[in-house]
Copies of this chain bind each other. A is one copy, B any other.
Amino acid sequence: MNQRASESIFSLGNGRFGQRANFEEQYSGDTLQGNYLAGVYYPDKTKVGWWKNGYPEYFAKVLNAPNWIGIDFRIDNEILDLAKCKILNFRRTLNMKEGYLQREYMVEMSSGIQIKALIIRFLSMADPEAAAIKYSIQPINFTGELTITSYLDAGIKNADANYNEFFWDIIAKDIERKRGFITSRTRKTDFDCCIGIDTSIRINGNKKNQIPESLEENNLIATEYRISMGENHEVSIYKYAAVLTSLYHEKSQLRKDTEKVLEGAVQSGFEKLFSVHKKKWKDIWEHSDITIEGDDEAQQGIRFNIFQLNQTYTGEDERLNIGPKGFTGEKYGGSTYWDTEAYCIPFFLCTASQNVSRNLLKYRHKQLDKAIENAKKLGFYGGAALYPMVTMNGEECHNEWEITFEEIHRNGAIAFAIFNYIRHTGDYTYLHDHGLEVLIALSRFWKQRVNYSMDKEQYVILGVTGPNEYENNVNNNWYTNTIASWTLTYTMEVLRYLKSKHPDNYDSIIKKTSFREDEEIKSWQEIADKLYFPIDEELNVFLQQEGYLDKEQMLADQLDPEQKPINQHWSWDRILRSCFIKQADVLQGIYLFEDRYDTETIRRNFNFYESRTVHESSLSPCVHSILASRIGDIIKAYALYLRTSRLDLDDYNDEVHEGLHITSMAGTWMSVVEGFGGKRIKNGKLVLNPLIPKNWESYSFKINFRNSLLKIFVTNEEIKISLLDKKEISLLIYGKEYQLTGNKEIKVPQMNFFTGKK
């Protein structure tokens, strides 16, 4: 598992495609090969034990795509294979600043020949269809023939294919000496992908004009060099790849366009291609870096997370989204979850141009018809939408009834993201462009999903799974009811706003959605007024769901450590019966609607629920860390921050071999900026309430707020805030308003703890 874990950790990506840190040369040890293409998926036939009406028949999966990195070496008839060598020296480096993977090794083959190598690989951020490898290899004390086979292999499978099927057909391939191409087509979805490779060599730094052989097998093309090596000769292999898909090119032009991109890369040459790429990463870090002084591990952790998020999504294409594993593994299908709205949008809002988040919102708007269709399959009508739990193209992929059909709070996250986007950017145009249409469909869903309880004489929401998936099919989950009620209220607010400010837009949306203004608003208002919320009067906490207090009450720290994580040790009924919480549920609601509650209420609920939370979701600690900061509990906030920031680097849950937790990395970023930094938006203004963990000397972060880039630097003594452009902005620090102008720094003394006043 160690090799697989490293392959995940050292993954590269450029938003368009991604590559696990698999070795170029043959490797017979344990490995999970992975090259993934943004937006290219395959609907694998699902495996279902007990079919329920409404289940989808297919699960869209991220595709393991043709392998372009392969370079095999044969020396004295022995294939170089690190699993079979004596390792003298091995080092893998992920250069996050400049975005490349470097590998150095020195090994002894069974023949006794020693090999020294240095490999650099990058996926260009500047030209997202190009990638390059420089593989320098030096057989020591060896004279004789070295065979180098640089190949492109399209005969690949997904390790997680349900029925061990091939997802690709090869439709064309050609090779001529040093350059070759394979075009593959996905079954069922008909995506075309053309990959071209070009391999040349230098010996001791000199161009070698030796003409290679071309090889062609069933699923594979290759360029083969046979070189007579003198003693201590060093060969450098330059392998360029162009990776194009039919998402961005006409199928008929794909082969030609691939050659164009490949030729461009070859013409640029390795060094130039590399330096343009590094420049792009410099820009990214200028907008999104977080520095931490006095805590190297925390520093490394946060940068790793920012790096991986930027490798996964660059935000130019509204058809793309962010899978929980990004381009680093197959699991969870690389599909879209509510993680995007709940975690990634807050990250991209602050660290990238507003278009990036707008595109993430538009992704859902584009899929509105499918969400309406999905709701219809479950018995809803009249334009009500239920967005899927997991999706690639808008269709539901998941098939666990308690999740697929019942974890409906995801609809709320999609509404909240619209609100959050506008609150942060001030871009109200989104509401009439796309937002209201989505909000109406969501509110229609909630309208039909509640029912009136004669017993309670209130509306109720029965049979749901909240964010805490360790409870299924519960009644009146406080969080779900909260976000449902808020969605109805917010939709009505947006309707009023557009009606008065943009009547023409309003009218056209009303028409498009067949909105029955009086009737629908009336019913929504009635539900918002009369929705039931479970509360325990005695403890004075919101109740996660009805009956939560009938459970045997225990605290997470009373759990036998050998029983943890409980999801690996307990049967599902036992988990469901227990009071233990997987991830923020009531607290997720308090986090989203913090303004509604005074600090004491937040603290009471935090203390009650956090102590029952086992944090067995990667998305759990960050929200808790933010709330711990909010109530001034910096020790707890820091402890929870540690659980999230190095989750993958330290592989807490022994699962990194499957890929990285990309979306939860945004949560880590949130726990610094919203947690320690106390970043909020209130009444259109940026608000900061920075705390600092005791062992940190300083930390800094950057925020893009309404097209101004601010840098916030926090020490134990003071907060320094500067604008990195020439604009002007007013903001609140510790509740006091400041006016910030271009390049003039503001200094505010550090308040060691947050007073808790609103």
Contact = CB atoms under 8 A, between A and B. Distances in A.
A635 interface: no
A551 B378 CA distance: 18
A611 to B, nearest CB: 16
A451 interface: yes
Contacts of A405: 571-573
Contacts of A574: 378-379
A454 B553 CA distance: 9
A573 B463 contact: yes
Interface string A561-574: 00000011111111
A517 interface: no
A552 B378 contact: no
Nearest to A408: B573
Contact of A572 (B52, B451, B456, B570): B52
A452 interface: yes
B401 A551 contact: no
Given A46-B49, A405-B573, A572-B52, A451 B551 contact: yes
Interface in A396-410: 399-401, 405-406
Contact of A550 (B53, B455, B550): B455
A455 B549 contact: yes
A473 B547 CA distance: 12
Given A546-B547, A577-B463, A568 B53 contact: yes
A552 B49 contact: no
Contacts of A50: 399-400
Nearest to A461: B577
A48 B48 CA distance: 5
Given A456-B550, A463-B577, A49 B399 contact: yes
A59 to B, nearest CB: 9
A47 interface: yes
B49 A475 contact: no
A567 B46 CA distance: 21
A232 interface: no
Interface string A48-62: 111011100000000
A571 B463 contact: no
Interface residues of A, number: 46
B454 A549 contact: yes
A359 interface: no
Given A463-B577, A472-B473, A546-B547, A53 B570 contact: yes
Interface string A732-754: 00000000000000000000000
A138 B655 CA distance: 71
Nearest to A473: B473
B48 A49 contact: yes
A204 interface: no
Interface-centre pick from A378, A452, A550, A567 (highest chain B CB count, 10 A): A550
A653 B377 CA distance: 23
A463 B474 CA distance: 10
B462 A571 contact: no
A405 to B, nearest CB: 4
A569 B377 CA distance: 10
A520 to B, nearest CB: 20
A545 B406 CA distance: 20
B550 A460 contact: yes
Contact of A47 (B48, B400, B455, B549): B48
A184 to B, nearest CB: 28
Contacts of A462: 547, 550-551, 576-577
A3 interface: no
Interface string A453-474: 1111000101100000000111
A547 B590 CA distance: 26
A417 to B, nearest CB: 24
Contacts of A463: 573, 576-577
Contact of A378 (B53, B451, B571): B571
B571 A54 contact: yes
A546 B475 CA distance: 10
A573 B456 contact: no
A570 B473 contact: no
A571 B460 contact: no
B572 A401 contact: yes
A663 B550 CA distance: 37
A73 B455 CA distance: 70
Contacts of A553: 454
B453 A549 contact: yes
A53 B453 contact: no
Nearest to A552: B451
Contacts of A378: 571, 573-574
A568 B54 CA distance: 10
A574 B571 CA distance: 26
A649 B52 CA distance: 27
A564 to B, nearest CB: 13
Contacts of A568: 53
- Identify the interface centre among A48, A452, A547: most chain B CB within 10 Å of its CB: A547
A406 B52 CA distance: 18
Task: Name the residue in A48, A549, A576 with the highest tally of chain B Cβ atoms < 10 Å from its Cβ.
Answer: A576
Nearest to A455: B549
Contacts of A453: 549-551
B49 A49 contact: yes
A52 to B, nearest CB: 4
A52 B401 contact: no
Contacts of A546: 547
Given A456-B550, A462-B577, A571 B475 contact: no
Interface in A539-557: 546-547, 549-553
A456 B406 CA distance: 28
Most chain B C-beta atoms within 10 Å of own C-beta, residue among A47, A49, A379, A455: A49
B452 A572 contact: no
Interface string A436-451: 0000000000000001
B48 A377 contact: no
B452 A52 contact: no
Contacts of A406: 573
**A-B pairs, 8 with minimum CB distance:** A54-B571, A405-B573, A455-B549, A453-B550, A52-B572, A401-B572, A378-B571, A451-B552
8 contacts: A53-B570, A378-B573, A406-B573, A454-B549, A460-B550, A462-B576, A463-B576, A473-B576
Given A53-B572, A451-B552, A475-B547, 12 more contacts: A48-B49, A50-B399, A52-B572, A53-B569, A53-B570, A378-B571, A379-B570, A401-B573, A405-B572, A451-B550, A452-B552, A462-B577
